[in-house]
Amino acid sequence: MRNTIFHKESLENFKFLITGGAGFIGSNLVQYLLKHNAGLVRIVDNLSNGSRANIAPFQLYKNRFEFIEGDISDLATCKEAVKDIDFISHQAALGSVPRSIKDPIATNKANIDGFLNMLFAAKDAKCLKKMVYAASSSTYGDSKVMPKVEGTEGRPLSPYAVTKLVNELYAEVFSNVYNLHSIGLRYFNIYGPKQDPNNPYAAVVPLFIDAALKKERPKIFGNGTTARDFTYVENAVQANIKGMLNGRTLEQHEVVNIACGKQTSLLQIWEQLRQMENINLTPVFLEERAGDIKLSLASIKKAEELIGYYPEVHFKEGLKYTLDHAK
pLDDT tens digits, 135-162: 999 999 999 999 999 999 999 999 999 9
> 135 lies in a domain?
yes
Q: End-to-end CA distance of the chain, in Å?
A: 15
Please enumerate in sequence order all residues whose Cβ is within 8 A of that of 165, keeping only pairs 6 or more positions apart, or say none. Answer: 139, 153, 156
> 65 lies in a domain?
yes
Domain count, the chain: 1
> 36 lies in a domain?
yes
> 293 lies in a domain?
no
pLDDT tens digits, 71-90: 999 999 999 999 999 999 99
> 271 lies in a domain?
no
Can you give the residue range of the structural domain that contains 302? Answer: 15-191+232-260+298-312
Compute the average pLDDT of residues 228-241. 97
So what's the pLDDT on residue 181?
98
pLDDT tens digits, 261-282: 999 999 999 999 999 999 999 9
CATH code of the domain containing 58:
3.40.50.720
So what's the pLDDT on residue 201?
67
So what's the pLDDT on residue 157?
94
pLDDT tens digits, 21-35: 999 999 999 999 999
> CA-CA-CA-CA torsion for 239, 242, 244, 247, nearest 10 degrees?
-110
Compute the average pLDDT of residues 163-181. 98
Q: What mean pLDDT, rounded, does the chain reach?
A: 96
pLDDT tens digits, 243-258: 999 999 999 999 999 9
> 178 lies in a domain?
yes
Residue 222 pLDDT > 80, yes or no?
yes
Q: Can you give the pTM of this predicted structure?
A: 0.96
pLDDT band at 2 (very low <50, low <70, confident <90, very high): confident
> 267 lies in a domain?
no
Which CA distances in Å does 147 have to 216, 262, 268? 34, 9, 19
> 290 lies in a domain?
no
In three-state secondary structure terms, 171 is: helix
So what's the pLDDT on residue 289?
84
Residue 3 pLDDT > 90, yes or no?
no
Catalytic residue among 32, 133, 140, 160: 160
Instruction: Check if 310 is active-site.
Output: no
Q: Phi then psi for 231, rounded to 5 degrees? A: -130, 120
Helix (H) or strand (E) holding 20: none
pLDDT band at 293 (very low <50, low <70, confident <90, very high): confident
